[in-house]
A and B are shown apart, each in its own frame.
Chain A
Amino acid sequence: MDDRRAARAAAKRRRARRGAATATVSTVLVVVLVVWLIGSSPGWPDVRETFFSWEAFRTSFPEVLSGFWLDVKLFVIVELCVLVLGLVVALVRTTTSPALFPLRAFAAAYVDVFRGIPVILLVYLVGFGVPALAFEGAPSDPVFLGGVALTASYTAYVAEVYRAGIDSVHGSQRQAALAVGLTQGQAMRFVILPQAVRRVVPPLLNDFISLQKDVALVAILGPLEAFRVAQIEAASTFNYTPLLAAAMLYLCVTIPMARLVDVVQRRSRAA
């Protein structure tokens, strides 16, 4: 018995070792092949000079980085606004009182419209449209207007995520909450919403990864954020390396966020 057990364990170890070896070899092979393919392409020397110039990277990086702070600030503020406003829209949509019908209809229309317009279009419309109205005291700061456009678009998405979470909490939970004597509002606040929010953390974080990238869209309104700075640098030096520097900076925030999503998802599956 013990012999067979040891033999099984040994076989299992062998399998694991062989698997790891195969994975390593195939990875190395693919990488070598890709590098060789790109390196042997006729245009590679030019591409290396215009996209991977260390010199251009070094000189442009500080400027791009300082532009990137604007992106960071913008998405932190927009994220917070979206979290709150999305919840408000979702809650409005879950109400049932007839008196609130206009509000409910408005929330539904809002989600339909703003989820259906490309973000870039929305940035254009708000960024150039609102100042064009020439209202007294109307905001004209492009960063602010870009932030408003992003908030409007992402609030629509996030409201739907929240709503899906609220719908996913089984009706028996609401029943039990009412049965102990809570009001409808208290049942939502203390019983349904806490469970709903826990369930939608992974999809919420996913939406925030895409928001982190989409802040670059305010570049079209002119403020000097990372992408815009990189564009200007690239245009003045005829070298595209600054764009690569900007891309790296975006990855620096999106990849940790993606890992966080993985962790949260694994944990919620375990629970």
Chain B
Amino acid sequence: MTPVVEVRGVTKAYGDKPVLRGIDLAVHEHQAVALIGASGSGKSTLLRCIDLLDEIDDGDVLLDGEVITDPSVRPDRVRRRLGMVFQGYNLFPHLTVLQNIVLAPVRAHGTDREEARARALELLDRFGLADRAGDKPDRLSGGQQQRVAIVRALATRPRALLLDEVTSALDPELVGEVLALVRDLKVDGMTMILATHEMSFAAEVADEICFLHEGLIVERGAPERLFEAPEREETRRFLRRLLEAKRL
């Protein structure tokens, strides 16, 4: 079966500093893959390259079997089929919650405005945000803003959702509500790639964990296997350091 997202030998450097040094990754329908690793290991860059927000140097990214990193492919067409959620929410501050969500369906997909509104309200309702539909983002808590950002990404019915450290900017007590939403999406069968620092969460939702180290996936596997019996020294060191940090 064709993977929804496939990354083949992707390299990327900022100036002469290599960030991705040959990444291979395949994410199948209904699968969730978690990218873990230290800051600067390339997790976010990889997600941005898949969404064509950063240009890769070498290799290919495929979406449903089609090479999307070809210069002849229009990036906005590709991005319409993917959903991306950022660490800093990046909601549009001048628009209400509802307007944030319907902007892309109406403008980029040509969905009928009423239909888009109905779908947006349905999603907001499902995730307990219906009463905030008319509010501007700055009236919402960080957790609510991030949930709205996820709903905004879902509104266009993406083939896959790219989640870039979606809980890293949140106060600890707000992390739970965002993770609960992602858990729901997993149950729905959403295809997801998530960069995260939350190991227990990664273990819970992901079918596969990829550990990135200096721009390479040095180890990958099912969560039980990777967390219980890491094979590589770099993985062990990373997990040990996380454990120590938690104990402090």
Contact = CB atoms under 8 A, between A and B. Distances in A.
Interface string B36-64: 00000000000000010100000000000
A181 B108 contact: yes
A54 interface: no
Most interface-central of A180, A181, A182 (chain B CB within 10 A): A180
B92 A182 contact: no
Interface string A168-181: 00001101111111
Interface stretch (B72-80, B121-129, B193-201, B232-240): B72-80
B103 A179 contact: no
Nearest to B136: A271
Give the dominant DSSP class at A's interface.
helix
Contact of A173 (B53, B83, B92, B108): B92
Contact of B80 (A173, A181, A194): A181
B2 interface: no
A181 B92 contact: no
B107 A195 contact: no
Nearest to A180: B104
A269 to B, nearest CB: 14
Interface residues of A, number: 18
Nearest to B152: A180
Contacts of B83: 179
A179 B84 contact: yes
Contacts of A184: 76
Nearest to B77: A181
A180 B103 CA distance: 9
Contacts of A59: none
A179 B88 CA distance: 14
24 contacts: A172-B88, A173-B90, A173-B92, A176-B86, A176-B92, A177-B92, A178-B75, A179-B51, A179-B53, A179-B82, A179-B153, A180-B103, A180-B104, A180-B152, A181-B79, A181-B109, A181-B156, A182-B103, A182-B107, A182-B108, A183-B76, A190-B103, A190-B107, A195-B94
Given A180-B152, A182-B76, 4 more contacts: A175-B90, A180-B156, A181-B108, A182-B104
Interface of B: 51, 53, 75-77, 79-80, 82-84, 86, 88, 90-94, 103-104, 107-109, 152-153, 156
